[in-house]
Structure 1
């Protein structure tokens, strides 16, 4: 089934917004044995929309649009589709009630303009939206294009995902005769090229699988897809020993979720002392439901004074070694562990740039990560390339990975 997505919105052509919906949807389609043949990002210009919709109908069987379903003058997705296919827009009574109820439930008056969202092209099926005012639309066999399907979804990511998962995907599953299974192996602390080299022989041995390597800051995903799950399992059995301690998780999950699972299994807890990362490690942990079972809390010890007062850094260590050093990282990990009474303490200090470290001689990109636990403390230095945000993201992930490795070693994994 030739599939494409049209991401609509002039804001997507600027630096202010990024189309994340199509990236997320690519994985969902892969699980159905489908893949994008084309992705297009275009603005709200009516003539551009007319041309793009017509071309999409000529080359694709499944056309998904994201955006342009709002109440404002520049939201024209369904209007242009209806015009192109020669059908009227009709008000849907249930959608009108849903929109009125949305505003009533929030104690806000409904702008009359929002009733525009209750208009539906004749022949399209409404996808009721429980988290917003813009319903989605599923249009199978539109006039003159039997065998094609047009799916219109709101551009707001939470609404896009909700409607896809609860209404569009089940509809597609019933029409997909050969679902595809996925093997995902998440690896940390290994670069993309090195991972490719280490796994090359196994991937060639299992060349009948569809392989992908997806790299991001500090981690790499090795993904294989095939309709037969037994073939994926055979590949996994060959790969896991090769990946060794670099393998974070098989299947869904993150470095942070793996850390929390290990802590929960051991009935242990964690506290953080973050300097250069500014709370990013805590954010990675607390975005996971149930993190409070193991994550006690932490402190953003950004200034020297905060390090002394919040994480019990001895003044002599600061005076002798500065803010970015092995000794300071170790003392912070031990200090926050003692201060909050946790089993483990994780601390990060560094210089994310762009300028030199005013409290020492650490070059831009320097990071010290320290883990303190029942068997003592250890620290690891790194120097990361990239801009400030990249350095902070890499440090956050690899600090958690250092803790993961300690926990797995202690657990005999």
Structure 2
């Protein structure tokens, strides 16, 4: 089955908003043994949309669209498809009732313009939207295109996901082949190219699986997909000794998830003292539910005064060593650990740019970890712009703690 996804909205062609819907849909299709053969993002241009729909109808068996089902002037996905296929739009009584009920529950009256959302191409079926006002569309065997299925869904992610899970995916299961299973291995502290070289032989040994390597600023993911769970298990067993201590974890989760789980398993706690990362590390940890079981808190000590007033660092230390130094990172880690009574204290300081800070070069980062057996420190020179350096530094600090927890 040739499946195409069309993400609709001019905002998707700018830097303001990313098309996350198609990524999520791709993952759900994989669980059904299906996959996209094409993905496209298109702006709110009637001419461009009509041309794209005409092309999609000639090359795809299943066309999934997200966006363009709302009540405003730039929402015309249904209208465009109806025009291309030469059919009329008629009001769907159930969609109108659903919209009235949606507004009544909120003690509001819908604007008249909202009722355009209840229009449905002749021959299509409405997909009810329990969390919004825009119904979707299931259109099987549209005029002149037998065997084709068109599915139109809202662009709002929570509405699209709910509609997919409750109404679209159950219909597709009957069409799907064998389900695809995924093995996900997360690795940290190793560049993508070095990891690729290290795993080449074992990956080729399991060449019957579909392999992907995904690198970000904080970690590398190895993904293997296949229909046979036993084949994935064999690959997992062979990869474990090759990845060694660089393996963060298997399955869902990332570096911060692994650190919190390790801390909880040991009954230990963490405190942070962040300078150049400005609270980024604390934000990554507290984004995870249940982080308070292991993460006590921390301080964003960006200025020299904050380092002295909040954590009690001696003025002569900062004057002698500078704010960006190994000695300062050690003092930060030890001070925050003592103040919060944590098992572990992490201290980060550095120069994320764009200029120099004292004697510290651009990209210079110092990370210290204070623990039950003393304090260790790590000096790094990280590439990238300001945001890149901050993100890499936060990940490096987490990875330093992760390795200490697993080797201790």
Shorter-chain TM range is over 0.9
Deviates more, 1:58-67 or 1:126-135: 126-135
The alignment status of 1:49 with 2:81, answered yes or no, reads no
The alignment status of 1:361 with 2:359, answered yes or no, reads yes
Shift of 1:101: 4.2
Alignment partner, residue 368 of structure 2: 370
Change (3 A) 1:291 1:139: farther
- Say whether the 8 Å CA contact 1:212–1:224 is kept in structure 2: yes
Alignment partner, residue 335 of structure 2: 335
Alignment partner, residue 305 of structure 1: 305
Change (3 A) 1:16 1:181: same
Change (3 A) 1:122 1:293: farther
- Please give the per-residue CA displacement for 1:12-47, whole angstroms capped at 9, x wherever unaligned: 223333322223333332232222211112111112
Change (3 A) 1:310 1:170: farther
SS of the residue aligned with 1:214? strand
Alignment partner, residue 381 of structure 2: 383
Shift of 1:107: 5.3
SS of the residue aligned with 1:37? strand
Shift of 1:167: 3.2
Alignment partner, residue 156 of structure 2: 156
The alignment status of 1:24 with 2:16, answered yes or no, reads no
Deviates more, 1:95-104 or 1:45-54: 95-104
The alignment status of 1:196 with 2:193, answered yes or no, reads no
Which consecutive unaligned segments of at least 5 residues does structure 2 have? none
Shift of 1:103: 4.0
TM-score by length of 1: 0.93
Shift of 1:105: 4.5
Alignment partner, residue 7 of structure 1: 7
SS of the residue aligned with 1:273? strand
Aligned length: 408
Distance in 2 separating the partners of 1:62 and 1:55: 13
Distance in 2 separating the partners of 1:101 and 1:377: 62
Shift of 1:274: 1.5
- Say whether the 8 Å CA contact 2:93–2:118 is kept in structure 1: yes
Deviates more, 1:371-380 or 1:223-232: 371-380
- Say whether the 8 Å CA contact 1:3–1:63 is kept in structure 2: yes
Which consecutive unaligned segments of at least 5 residues does structure 1 have? none
- Please give the per-residue CA displacement for 1:206-239, whole angstroms capped at 9, x wherever unaligned: 1111111111113111111110010011011000
- Say whether the 8 Å CA contact 1:314–1:331 is kept in structure 2: no
Distance in 1 separating the partners of 2:393 and 2:125: 47
- Please give the per-residue CA displacement for 1:246-289, whole angstroms capped at 9, x wherever unaligned: 10011111111111111111222222212111221122112222
The alignment status of 1:314 with 2:314, answered yes or no, reads yes
Shift of 1:106: 4.6
Deviates more, 1:291-300 or 1:74-83: 291-300
SS of the residue aligned with 2:95? helix
SS of the residue aligned with 2:184? strand
SS of the residue aligned with 2:200? helix
Alignment partner, residue 396 of structure 2: 398
Alignment partner, residue 38 of structure 1: 38
Distance in 2 separating the partners of 1:126 and 1:312: 64
SS of the residue aligned with 1:207? coil
TM-score by length of 2: 0.94
Change (3 A) 1:102 1:308: farther
Alignment partner, residue 242 of structure 2: 242
Distance in 2 separating the partners of 1:292 and 1:167: 37
Alignment partner, residue 83 of structure 1: 83
Change (3 A) 1:350 1:107: farther
Alignment partner, residue 165 of structure 1: 165
SS of the residue aligned with 2:268? coil
Deviates more, 1:365-374 or 1:9-18: 9-18
Change (3 A) 1:45 1:364: same
Distance in 1 separating the partners of 2:340 and 2:97: 51
Deviates more, 1:371-380 or 1:153-162: 153-162
- Say whether the 8 Å CA contact 1:352–1:365 is kept in structure 2: yes
Distance in 1 separating the partners of 2:355 and 2:97: 57
- Say whether the 8 Å CA contact 2:34–2:177 is kept in structure 1: no
SS of the residue aligned with 1:5? strand
CA RMSD of aligned residues (A): 1.9
Alignment partner, residue 294 of structure 1: 294
Distance in 2 separating the partners of 1:104 and 1:266: 52
Distance in 2 separating the partners of 1:235 and 1:121: 49
Alignment partner, residue 272 of structure 1: 272
